[in-house]
Structure 1
Amino acid sequence: MRWVRVCRLEDILPGSGVCALVEGKQVAIFRVGERLFALSNFDPFTKANVISRGLVGSKGERLYVASPLLKHRFDLETGEYLDDPTVRLAVYPVRLEAGEVWVGVPVAEVAKVGT
């Protein structure tokens, strides 16, 4: 796993998301309470990179982001589309270290980008 620094925690407003280019991929990073989540920014329904601008909400215990265009809801932990579990967004490991937000990218993906 290669870790990439994307921003400071204070750059993400609570209850919202930001987009970062991580090893050539757009990643949506969300801050909900004390937790961070990182998902693909690509909405598979509209084919647009807009997930980071989505609305954060919850359904029972599940936290989700609703795409800003058609309001499709994706689980923030698993990337699963709530209405059809066969559709999902890629999820990335994310961590907070000394006030900095880091996203993990598998080494195989880093090698693909470099080729």
Structure 2
Amino acid sequence: MHSDQQIQHWTPICDLADIVPNTGVCALVNGEQVAVFHVIDSTGGAQETRVFAIGNYDPNSEAAVLSRGLVGNLGERIVVASPIYKQHFDLQTGECLEEPANSVPAWPARIEAGQVWIGA
């Protein structure tokens, strides 16, 4: 993951309200499909609205489907389960928990003035 200081360019994706909480959408960023997730995180006790961005292409099923997966938690990790073979991908790092060799890229994401932004 990148720090804000290292990011050269932030790309606006959509309004946060355009993504149903605890689901994802697919966006085309610099020619690449990115799965963008709007998560209501309550793991620390208080509810926090967060956004995440990982590659949309699932190397396990060889399909661009991660944005349509089910969002949840495995322990302290916020993950998406691929809709095809159900492997879990960490939304912060893109790591595939069952097959780490099949991990996907992750990008920094933030909410600013009600808009979702992805760092490149």
Q: State the TM-score, normalizing by the size of structure 2.
A: 0.84
Q: Distance in 1 between matches of 2:104 and 2:71?
A: 15
Q: Equivalences for 1:3-18 in 2 at 5 Å?
A: 3-18=10-25
AA aligned to 2:70 is: L
Which of 23, 26, 31 is matched with 1:19 structurally?
Answer: 26
Q: Find 2:99's aligned residue among 84, 93, 106.
A: 84
What is the number of equivalent residue pairs in this alignment?
105
Of residues 55, 65, 89, the one that matches 1:50 is 65
Cα distance in 2 for residues equivalent to 1:97 and 1:58: 25
The root-mean-square deviation of aligned C-alpha atoms, in Å, is: 0.9
> Is this contact kept in 1: 2:50–2:110, CA < 8 A?
no
The whole-number CA distance in structure 2 between the counterparts of 1:73 and 1:25 is 21
Aligned counterparts of 1:59 and 1:100: Cα–Cα separation in 2: 28
Determine the structure 1 residue equivalent to 2:54.
39
Query: Which structure has more strand as a fraction of its residues?
Result: 1
Normalised TM-score (structure 1)? 0.87
Structure 1: stretches of 5+ with no match in the other structure:
106-115
Regions of 4+ moved over 6 Å: none
List runs of 5+ in structure 2 lacking aligned partners: 1-7, 41-48
Q: Distance in 2 between matches of 1:84 and 1:50?
A: 17
